[in-house]
A and B are shown apart, each in its own frame.
Chain A
């Protein structure tokens, strides 16, 4: 079955199993990343596509003020429109027993008869609504889980200011809310925000919309152009207060999943490339060494008539066995990793069933990419073997030529020990091998920087959001705007150190074709509680006229300071205003627009009113404060900073820990593998030299010093490079997280650098120690014999 040349291959591999395994492991790290990210992309994409298809997720969405139901059929007749689903969508306030903070949510209508045309629901548990039944509601899964609600439980809602009790019929999912989150929120807070579905009649009557609709979704006919349909829909709905149709590309839930897929795509390319490059270097080193040892064997094979091709294939097979092992190990690592991440995604994304699906093409890709890397790696070495003339190869390799190392020529030679000289001259003689070792160690150091930088960045956001921007302890919202005098009442609550009032309102902000829905925050011009800051963390005073908006929002809108923005207020008389953009706030989460409170009052055509307040409290009096607060009937929501902070930390901690563990393992494997490989090759190449040192009276430890000095020098070069590389990785990866929901600032700490340095150093030391143990088995007698 096996040719004798293959037998030689197997025995060579067995002899070099440690090194072959080290290469395979480094390769496996890259391939695990590849398998993991490709499979996750496949899982997310295919699950999403199937979910969208089965539940008829719409292509275009539009919110409007109010249009008679007959208008929906006119939309359906527009060219390019395939299906239409119109209904009511309304904000509600919730009263959840046991929850300190009042929660809010979104109610959608379901047709009184028959099934929804588009965006059909998936029933997770319980039952559908009884036809023409009243007082029943379907609840989105994320909210239900977070509040431990199930079918049969009761829930109280304020519909248009009227409190009503509902019974939960079923727990559902919707393709519109794969990511179930308050618009503009950085992370889902499923405890205080939920999605609900009720019969059309009930919700339409509650909001005085019976016979009309205020939300419409449609699907495109095959071949229809999204942009054309959006323009036509906007044209038609303009009369009815249409707020601008948008496609899936602007759909908040869809964007979140797409963002995740985009991050995975970057991961699926970047990291495998880096790991496989190192593996290619390592395989080159191992094979070069093997070929040097087997010069004579190659010559004999050639002398006996083996063709160059056969010899090349023989050594390529060596690389391919390593590739095969690496691919298998990579798949074995990538699959469980992907499964863990799928579980994590389930916390964020609501699919009927998000299962891990192995992307078979990922494995093919992994094998192909690894083969490619290995082929590049061995190319030079194998070519040398092929080019070797038989007669030449019969002679041993010419003796190594050394010269004083560069550092010695600088004139400090005097102070250098002999061990040091041996080490630096060796490094200089084999610059490529040294460079690869340095590259590998630098890489290991670099990838360790990323997770900690990520962690520090999130910590910075929390600190920024809750220490720099929000300096209050608690903020509350009122059900209805109230006169500013209410503020004086708040001051009298127990434990209040200071209080500031605000007026917030929902609005759609538009510039050119781009628009976003968000909260306009009317605040005290130079308030101490909710501050608006620029890049340098200097507080920006709110202007008398004009808007400050998040820098990210300006970027999305394509607006610059001085541009006129169109602001459509989504409450009361719904005025449409034009305001100049006067400044950019460097906030890190969500999208916001800020305006001086009284200026907002004027814009809204209302008196000196507020709809919320923030408090700095004396910590000891906090329970009293909360107790008194519950007695104030007009309070619609309460945000306690500490509990927001805790829930944020809890959700991010799990994912960051997983990522950190992953990177830690990969970095350790690379550091260990690279050092092991280098030390093994040094040891093998210089066995004779090292044995001679032992013979002339050096102890094992002293001989080990020669090898260790070399590794230490390489390490000293690699570590700063690695820190630099890591800085680059962190900048790139963290820079990618620049989305509407969150913008991670780049944070690099001395602690982070120290940790990376420490881990790589320890891995290197252990790896070197493993190799150095073999020094005690050096064949002293063999050193006296003829050179290889």
Chain B
């Protein structure tokens, strides 16, 4: 299925129909100082485009999550270039980052991170209240097939349902980028597939750049490109000629 392997940064020519969203050059992130210093990112080069479905693969500690945090504006890099359109994320203020996250980024976490005191609808509506041009909360929940469980509290939902609420919450603001860190990590296969289908559908219907971190190599079949990490660097990038539907993913 993998048709091409290249070790350098992806080039514009491969994505002529798509607009570049992120430009990452020589990105490093170091935690701690001196002997205790940990180089979580040791110089990453990567470009990401609108509507792409990216899967990040790699062993624990290879830097996937650190990169995702930098792209999501949760953390700032130690050095290097990190641009989202015209916004210099590497040197942005706290306020800029808040606005960036609010308007442009959707997050989906392994442990859902819903607000336990709000219902499914309210968890989504919480975000649509502060977004510019949101999808109605109900519509977003319909997209993840939860139209029937709008008024349930997180504690009344299964793990897969909670994760789908989290996806609805993430996409309701019509983000340009959807970041998912191990979205199926805490779920069984069947539920995991339902969640992946929801992510896939969002990617397709809203043309949202979708970046998914996973330990599960078979999920790579769903991606446009598969980025492999090791030791804080991009080890390789594979481009799939054809994306497999989530329902066909088997693990």
Contacts and interface: CB of A to CB of B under 8 A. Distances in A.
Interface stretch (B52-60, B79-87, B105-113, B228-236): B105-113
Contact of B130 (A697, A780, A787): A697
Residue among A399, A425, A692, A783 with max Cβ neighbours from chain B (10 Å): A692
A429 B122 CA distance: 18
A462 interface: no
Contacts of B111: 785-787
Contact of B153 (A402, A418, A781): A402
A421 interface: yes
A415 to B, nearest CB: 14
A422 B115 CA distance: 8
Interface in A747-788: 776, 780-781, 783-787
A611 B47 CA distance: 109
A776 B95 CA distance: 12
A399 B101 contact: no
Interface in B44-79: 65, 69, 72, 74-75
A400 B155 contact: yes
A696 B118 contact: no
Interface string B3-44: 000000000000000000000000000000000000000000
Contact of B105 (A418, A692, A697, A787): A697
A699 interface: yes
Given A696-B169, A696-B170, A780-B74, 10 more contacts: A402-B153, A404-B119, A425-B117, A426-B117, A689-B115, A695-B101, A696-B101, A697-B130, A784-B109, A787-B111
A387 interface: no
Contacts of A697: 98-99, 101-103, 105, 127, 130-131, 173
A696 B125 contact: no
Chain B contact-residue range equals 35 or more
A316 to B, nearest CB: 32
Chain A contact-residue range equals 20 to 34
A781 B73 CA distance: 10
Given A399-B116, A401-B153, A429-B117, A696 B74 contact: no
A786 B110 contact: yes
B181 interface: yes
Contacts of B75: 780-781
B113 A784 contact: yes
Given A699-B95, A784-B181, A402 B103 contact: no
Interface in A542-568: none
Nearest to B186: A786
Contacts of A422: 115, 117-118
16 contacts: A402-B117, A403-B153, A404-B119, A421-B117, A688-B113, A689-B113, A689-B115, A692-B109, A696-B102, A696-B169, A697-B127, A700-B98, A780-B69, A781-B75, A784-B110, A784-B181
Contacts of A400: 116-117, 155
Contacts of A290: none
Nearest to A417: B129
A780 B68 CA distance: 13
Contact of B113 (A429, A692, A699, A700): A692
Nearest to A413: B122
A418 B75 CA distance: 27
Contacts of B95: 699
A399 B170 CA distance: 22
Interface string A633-646: 00000000000000
Nearest to B65: A784
Residue among B75, B115, B118, B125 with max Cβ neighbours from chain A (10 Å): B115
A693 interface: yes
A780 B169 CA distance: 18
Contacts, number: 94
Contact of B115 (A417, A692, A700, A781): A692
B192 interface: no
Contact of B107 (A402, A403, A695): A695
B160 interface: no
A780 B118 CA distance: 20
Interface in A673-690: 688-689
A463 to B, nearest CB: 53
B126 interface: yes
Contacts of A699: 95, 98
Contacts of B125: 418
A406 interface: no
A421 B115 CA distance: 11
Interface of B: 65, 69, 72, 74-75, 94-95, 98-99, 101-103, 105-107, 109-111, 113-119, 122, 125-127, 129-131, 153-155, 169-170, 173, 181
A469 B166 CA distance: 76
A168 B168 CA distance: 97
A343 B101 CA distance: 64
A298 B181 CA distance: 31
Contacts of B99: 697
Kindly list the 3 A-B residue pairs having the minimum CB-CB distance in the complex, ordered from nearest.
Answer: A697-B102, A425-B117, A692-B113
A653 to B, nearest CB: 52
A688 B117 CA distance: 13
Nearest to A399: B155
A695 B103 contact: no
Contacts of A783: 109, 113
A698 interface: yes
A531 B77 CA distance: 85
Contacts of A787: 111
A693 B115 contact: yes
B110 A689 contact: no
A702 B113 CA distance: 18
Contact of A696 (B69, B107, B153, B181): B107
Contact of A781 (B69, B110, B170, B173): B69
A418 B110 contact: no
B78 to A, nearest CB: 14
B65 to A, nearest CB: 7
B183 to A, nearest CB: 11
Contacts of A425: 117-118
B122 A402 contact: no
Interface in A589-624: none
A421 B69 contact: no
Contacts of B173: 697
A641 B198 CA distance: 89
Contacts of A786: 110-111
Contacts of B116: 399-400, 402, 689
A417 B117 CA distance: 13
A382 B76 CA distance: 43
Contacts of A784: 65, 69, 74, 107, 109-110, 113, 181
A260 to B, nearest CB: 53
Contacts of B105: 697
A682 to B, nearest CB: 12
B226 to A, nearest CB: 22
A426 B95 CA distance: 28
A353 B99 CA distance: 72
